[in-house]
Structure 1
Amino acid sequence: MLKPKHFAYANMVTPKLVAKIEAEEPALRLALLIDADNAQAAVIEGILAEVARFGEATVKRIYGDFTSPHSASWKKVLQKYAIKPVQQFAYTTGKNATDSTLIIDAMDLLYTRRFDGFCLVTSDSDFTGLATRIREEGLVVLGFGEQKTPDAFRNACNKFVLTELLRPAETGSLSAAVKPEPTAAPALPPATALTQAAAPSLPQDFMLSALDQSSGENGWAHLGTFGSYLTKLKPDFDPRVYGFRKLSDLVRSRQDIFVTEERALPGQAQKQLYLKPR
């Protein structure tokens, strides 16, 4: 039987989960599982930083054949970041034994009931079933993969993050993965190297639809509720793709689309951001 706290994560995305992207302290206990055959070592530091925004990775494992030249880059970072390698030899050509090993381990960890969620680092759609099964248990699934990752796996996660956004400053660029188009309004100065590349155009219809679903009878929506609906409708939605570090930065900059208002709530020192369509 599931522990009571796990039912808090039964929905696709909770406002609490989305709020962690903005500023909340980490609370989730996470298992980080990396498919070395479908992930690059160059983004590991960014992945760990991103995971830390949601919670603590109490288990960090990577699966692959580390006798292969393909995995040479991973061997250089495993000790530095305390990631446990799980060696998996290729039993036969054309078959991926790594996938099976990772899935078996994930299910073993799932049934320990010690975790609030899983972080799956892969661009392989073969893990769609695993992500779906974990969510059936009421746990959060955070996916990390490249732009080529199929929609099936992206949509099976509560939240999906493009690893192109997590590359170091000297190599970080979305230009090779996303064809840029000019934005309707200038973006704020980029806070990190993640937004150095030109951003694609903002999906206004999609965002206004999410805002309509998340707003109250007075037409206003809390930023956290709005962010929750965005991710429910599109798990790979990320303001950094459009040149903004946070969702609050994005909506404040697009005064041609949104009306924003900061409100001081009773008993809270920090103001809360609300928005509505212009």
Structure 2
Amino acid sequence: MTDTRIAVLIDADNISPKYAAALLEELAAYGVATVKRAYGDWTTASLGGWKSELHKHGIVPFQQFAYTKGKNSTDSALIIDAMDLLYAGNVEAFALVSSDSDFTRLATRIRESGKRVYGIGARKTPQSFVAAVDTFIYVEVLGQEGEPGDADEAPEEPTTPLPNLQSLLTRAVNATSDDDGWAHLGAIGSYLRSLDSSFDPRLYGSPKLAALVEAQPYLTTSGGGSSGVRVGLKGKTTARKAATKKS
């Protein structure tokens, strides 16, 4: 955990309240949520599930009436507040909690000002928004309160297929390895995040990157402890070491 101050701005119209505790716990690994706000029309029955979560987690509700049918005024309210917070300079990072692509330009604008941006949303989130943030976290990998099928949850929408894992890890090892064919696990993780802001080993069934790497039959690992885990492509590290000895 770091002392980075994070403004957590939640589009309550777009995210189920059952993820409230889990998303805040996830963000605690990146910093301290000094601002926690949720936006929506709290007079509607559809947001009823959020009300208990607001009190439980100290999230401040911001009322935004839908002035015109079919228009989402919640997005505008969140964007205006985000810009106010940006110019106030009291936070170092923003967490935009939504699956809505309307926040794509907001994310890029905040990053242009040198602030870090985290996105949290469902797998249905458009790629434009996912790519606009530094790190995107899918709610499907988070723990949750309640059960699937809650009354407040929107019907499931098609999701984007996950990138091919073998291709991703092979590229990462090749890009970060030394002359002997070994790459440090930390460097691989950094490369994967820069390649895809939404990369998360939990999407592939592993809690940590180390466990995911060790489970792949085409990879080999070495070391650990203070020196860190090193990763190589099977058959490639031995060949490279042998070539070095001959020279």
Same fold by TM-score greater than 0.5: yes
Paired residues for 1:1-278 under 5 Å = 25-168=1-144, 171=147, 203-254=165-216, 256-263=217-224, 270-278=226-234
Shift of 1:111: 1.4
**Mapped contact 2:21–2:145 kept (Cα < 8 A):** no
- When residues 91 and 201 of structure 1 are mapped into structure 2, their CA distance, relative to the original with a 3 A threshold, is closer
Q: Distance in 2 between matches of 1:63 and 1:252?
A: 42
**Mapped contact 1:164–1:172 kept (Cα < 8 A):** no
Determine what percentage of the aligned residue pairs are the same residue: 45
Amino acid at match of 2:219: F
1:16 equivalent in structure 2: none
Gaps of 5+ in 1: 1-24, 182-199, 265-269
- Give CA deviations for 1:29-84 in whole Å, capped at 9, x if unaligned: 11100001111101111101100111111110001100011111111210110001
**Mapped contact 2:18–2:146 kept (Cα < 8 A):** no
TM-score by length of 2: 0.85
- Give CA deviations for 1:203-256 in whole Å, capped at 9, x if unaligned: 2112211221222333222211111111111111111111110111111222x1
- When residues 80 and 90 of structure 1 are mapped into structure 2, their CA distance, relative to the original with a 3 A threshold, is same
Q: Distance in 1 between matches of 2:145 and 2:33?
A: 24
Q: Distance in 2 between matches of 1:201 and 1:121?
A: 23
- When residues 201 and 234 of structure 1 are mapped into structure 2, their CA distance, relative to the original with a 3 A threshold, is closer
TM-score by length of 1: 0.76
- When residues 52 and 178 of structure 1 are mapped into structure 2, their CA distance, relative to the original with a 3 A threshold, is farther
Shift of 1:28: 2.0
Provide the secondary structure at the position in 1 that maps to 2:43.
Answer: coil
Shift of 1:178: 8.6
- Give CA deviations for 1:69-107 in whole Å, capped at 9, x if unaligned: 111111121011000111111111111111011001111
- When residues 90 and 51 of structure 1 are mapped into structure 2, their CA distance, relative to the original with a 3 A threshold, is same
Provide the secondary structure at the position in 2 that maps to 1:94.
Answer: coil
Q: Distance in 2 between matches of 1:167 and 1:31?
A: 21
1:186 equivalent in structure 2: none
1:191 equivalent in structure 2: none
Gaps of 5+ in 2: 150-155, 235-247
- When residues 138 and 126 of structure 1 are mapped into structure 2, their CA distance, relative to the original with a 3 A threshold, is same
Alignment length (residue pairs): 227
**Mapped contact 1:42–1:167 kept (Cα < 8 A):** no
- When residues 32 and 213 of structure 1 are mapped into structure 2, their CA distance, relative to the original with a 3 A threshold, is same
Amino acid at match of 2:88: T
Provide the secondary structure at the position in 2 that maps to 1:53.
Answer: coil
**Mapped contact 1:134–1:141 kept (Cα < 8 A):** yes
